[in-house]
Structure formats: structure tokens, C-alpha cells
A and B are shown apart, each in its own frame.
Chain A
């Protein structure tokens, strides 16, 4: 099973709202990722968690706040977003072997629209 699930599938929010995106995997992967993807563009890395610790933050604005409650779950908390933050948000996970991460498996994404 190589499934990564994400909820919700679609989210519309105002600039003053607070919302959260959720990601779950049960493959025993110890690395999890958040990406942002604009239409017809490659995914842009936002955050990497390795063994539940934040290992990479790609200078993402503080209105995006990641959280990794346990090895299977990854959240992205959203607050005071801007319309330009509208995008497809992808979660991914991968195994870690000998300190090297293996193939990333992606969820279906959350389509976020900020009004």
C-alpha cells in the first residue's frame, strides 16, 4: 500500500480565517513533506519532517505553520492567507534508509482557494 491521504480535497477560505490541512500515511515512512503547486508548474518544497522533527523550512511565510503530531500525521495550519496562496497543496512521505530518503509518495492534494 503506497497511499497518502489528504483532507479536505477542496478548501475555500477568507483572508482572516484559520484552517488546517491534514495528511496521513500508514506506510511506516519517517519523512513527510509539504509542497505548494501552482497550475502547470512543478511542486515547490515548503517543509520537511524527518522522524517527527522539522528538518527543512524553505523560508515559508509564518502564516503557514506545520505540525507533525506523530509519525503518521502531518498538518499544515493556515492563518491570514493571501489570495496568491491559492494553489494545490501536496503532502508526500518517504522511507528513510541509512539517513537517505527513498522514493516520495504523494497524496492527491488539497485545492486551496483564498478569497
Chain B
């Protein structure tokens, strides 16, 4: 079975502090993992993906994610949060022509 889990419904962080949004996965075979961000009443925007290669993946808007095979995790990180990063974040895995989305984590960045 394919699944991704986002254990935190909400993450609160102060502007300028580092942020982490957590994701763990359970997939058969090699995982294809993605992060998307969604602003209110908008579609999902692609941030970054891990297919193979370097475990540290850099993406859009200063975000990066670290693939950890032993912990089956793919946490999203940013060194310094901005208020404009406040949004809903989805982790996803891909297999057999389908995306499996996590439940989403609402990120609140306070000034």
C-alpha cells in the first residue's frame, strides 16, 4: 500500500525562524516524493521532488527537503520563514500513475 502521513495538522513559527513540515511515507519500491503548497482558494503549486540521487533536494522559494530512507521521512525545511509562507502544505508520493497525498499541514508564520 502507498501512503504518506503528515503528523502535524498545524505548525506555528515566528518570521525569521527555521521551519520544518514533517512527512513520512510508506511505499513499495523506490519512492517518488513531492511537496506542494496551496494558498487559499488556489490550486496546488509544485515546490520540489525527490526521485533519486542526492538526499537533499532544493526547490522553489528557498524550500528544501531531506529524504531519509532509514526513517522513511521527507521533511520540508526552510532556514528563515516568511509571513508569506503561511499556507497549506501537502506531501505526496507517486506510484502507478496516481498521486497519494498526505492530509496537509497548515503553516502559520507570525510576524
Contact = CB atoms under 8 A, between A and B. Distances in A.
Tell whether A pairs with B: yes
Interface of A: 2, 4, 6, 31, 40-43, 45, 48, 50, 55-56, 88, 90, 92, 101, 103-109, 111
B72 interface: no
Contacts of B103: 41-42
Contact of A108 (B36, B43, B94, B102): B43
Interface residues of B, dominant DSSP: strand
B88 interface: yes
A45 B101 CA distance: 10
Size bin of chain B's contact surface: 20 to 34
A57 B45 CA distance: 24
A88 B41 contact: yes
Contacts of B42: 108-109
